[in-house]
Amino acid sequence: MNKESLKFLTEVKKKPRFTPQTWSQLWKQIVIWVILAFVLYPIAWVISAAFDPANTIVGQRIIPKNASFINFIRLFDSELQPFTSWLLNTFKVSLTSSFLGVCITALVGYAFSRMRFHGRKTGLFAILLIQMFPQMLALVAIYLIIFWIGHYFSSFGLDTHAGLTLVYLGGAMGVNVWMTKNYFDTIPQSLEESAKIDGATPFQLFVKIILPLTRPILVVVFFLQFMSNYSEYVLARVLLATNENLTMAVGLQTFIQDQISQRWGVFSAAALIGAAPVLILFWVLQNQLVSGLTRGAVK
């Protein structure tokens, strides 16, 4: 072995195996894996319970014994709960309120962004101020308003999906208007001026020029509103009464109540089925969501 080889081996032996940078990376990896364990463990526990035929929380293990789909069969075959109706009700209310919310938010955000009228700044400030107070503070007032509306328009009264949708439309309007208004501000007004010169009407200008550019933020508004309404419990619990009209969150709560230990597997199966649409929607819209939250309307 020559002198150069001996010198290289000596330097390698003297060089510390763990540098400060290595320890820093190691601690970061440990923290990340610990956080992932805290996040994924409840999910793994629910998945395990959904496929555990014992249908009980007592003696449950992460890897269930004799895993099967019996809890999913019990969920749809049981006469104790109309799960299919609850799921369809949740979709109907969430999709309707999200779609109408996007339509109204786009119009209001465009008006606040482009038009100058008396009370514009006051209106923006009032929308922001209202959002500072939790919606639960107005729960009694909301109940009385829907009760009063039901006397004149029964389709929008208590224990109706239209009445619940009406409440959901006003709940997140403030935040959504501010998001869309700020996004509209990033669109150059020269685009609208060019379209006006070419003879575009105000409606054509809004539909063919503005809406295509604001698609990312509208997707964000739709997804956030859908996700919020899909899992909402308190308002639905107060405004809905008939078992067949309940949404999934309220229906499952009434189903388990004090029998969660005996219906844990069926409840977990329902939770997995309920989470699937949100995950699929997020996967389909993820590019638009990232674009709407991080970018402006034009490059």
Which residues neighbour 176 within 8 Å (Cβ) at sequence distance 6 or greater? 101, 105, 109, 221, 224, 225
Q: Is the pLDDT higher at 212 or at 90? A: 90
Convert the pLDDT of each residue in 174-228 to its tens digit: 788 888 888 888 888 888 788 788 787 878 888 888 888 888 888 888 988 898 8
Convert the pLDDT of each residue in 9-64 to its tens digit: 555 455 555 566 777 778 888 888 899 888 888 888 888 888 888 777 666 677 77
Buried b / exposed e along 128-142 (16+ C-beta atoms within 10 A): eeebeeebeebeeeb
| Residue 90's pLDDT band (cuts 50, 70, 90) | very high
Q: What does the pLDDT read at residue 95?
A: 93
Convert the pLDDT of each residue in 58-84 to its tens digit: 666 777 777 788 888 888 876 657 888
82-294, what's its fold?
MetI-like fold (1.10.3720)
Distance (Å, whole) CA 40 – CA 34: 10
What the block records as the tokens of 140 is 């009694």
Nearest Cα neighbor of 50 from 71, 65, 64 is 71
Going from N- to C-terminal start, the domains of the chain cover 20-76, 82-294
Q: What does the pLDDT read at residue 44?
A: 86
| Residue 93's pLDDT band (cuts 50, 70, 90) | very high
* Residue recorded with tokens 């490059």: 299
Q: What does the pLDDT read at residue 299?
A: 45
